[in-house]
Structure formats: C-alpha cells, structure tokens
Amino acid sequence: MQVCDLYENLKDDVQRYARSIAKHAYEADDLVQDAFMKAIKEPNLAALPLHKQKAWFFRVVKNRMIDISRREKRLVSWEDDLDIAELPVSSRNIEMTEWLARLPQSQSNIVFKRFWLGMSSQEIGEQLGMPAATVRYKLQTAIKKLRKLWEEDMK
C-alpha cells in the first residue's frame, strides 16, 4: 500500500478530525497536508492495519496542532511584551530593524527568517544545517535579548 492509497482510504476521516480541532478550515487543511507529508517518510506505516494507520494520523494531526498552538502563544506573548502594535508601521519596521541589528548575526538571521519570512524551525534548520531544536533554542535566546533591548529603550 502506497501513501496515495493511504490518502484515498483515510483522507475523509483525517480531514474531519483536523477540522474538529483546528480553528479555521485552512488550518485543518495544513494539518492534513503535514500529516500526509510525514506519512511519506514512514515506510512501515502502510504495513499497519487500518485502525492503527488512522490512529497514527490522528496522533500526528493532534501533535502538530499542539505545536502550532504553542508557537502562537509564544508569538502573541512576545508581541504583547513589546507593544509593537502601538507604533506606526514604518516606525515599527525601523525600530525592529534597529533591534535586530543589535543582535548577533546568527540570531538576527533566525528571527528574520522565522517572523518576516514565516519559515518553520525545521525549514530554517535545513537551510542553516542545524537541528530544528537548536533553531528554536536560538530563537528563544534572541527573543529574550530583544525583550531586554526593548526594556532598556523604554527606560
């Protein structure tokens, strides 16, 4: 059984489940796509019984949704701390550019790729040749430094 067979057999169930836990339909579509992309990399998945395949997909969709929720919470928390929304857009961009310039180049690069280009930690890691966990660690370190810079500027 190939991934295309898995898709035909399970897409409706996986889609329904994703829509039940996602906030928006487009988010559910992304969850389903991510799950089937991950299935491509799992050679033993096709050999499992149907009920175990379905459970595997549901677990992948649920875990991906948890990852997205965590990332959104961190992003919202970071944006709330900085009160960037109160600045005019051009001023915001200038100020953020100045803060990024005060970070080490490697951290500035990761922040830029994550928040301006919208890349995932996995994509950034692949591009920079490091594990996604290292990217997330460096991103969190950079955000802490940005908070400190912001606090210093607000004094």
Domain boundaries of the chain, sorted by first residue: 3-68, 83-154
- Residue 138 binned pLDDT confidence (cut-offs 50, 70, 90): very high
Q: Pick the more confident residue, 56 or 98.
A: 56
- Residues in Cβ contact with 39 at an 8 Å cutoff, skipping those fewer than 6 apart: 3, 6, 45, 56, 57, 60
Predicted pLDDT of residue 91 = 46
Q: Which of 100, 94, 102, 96 is nearest to 82 (CA)?
A: 96
pLDDT digit string, tens, across residues 84-97: 445 444 444 556 67
The dotted CATH code for 83-154 is: 1.10.10.10
Query: Residue 34: which of 47, 46, 49, 22 has the closest Cα?
Result: 22
- Percentage of the chain exceeding pLDDT 70: 83
Query: Average pLDDT, stretch 35-47?
Result: 88
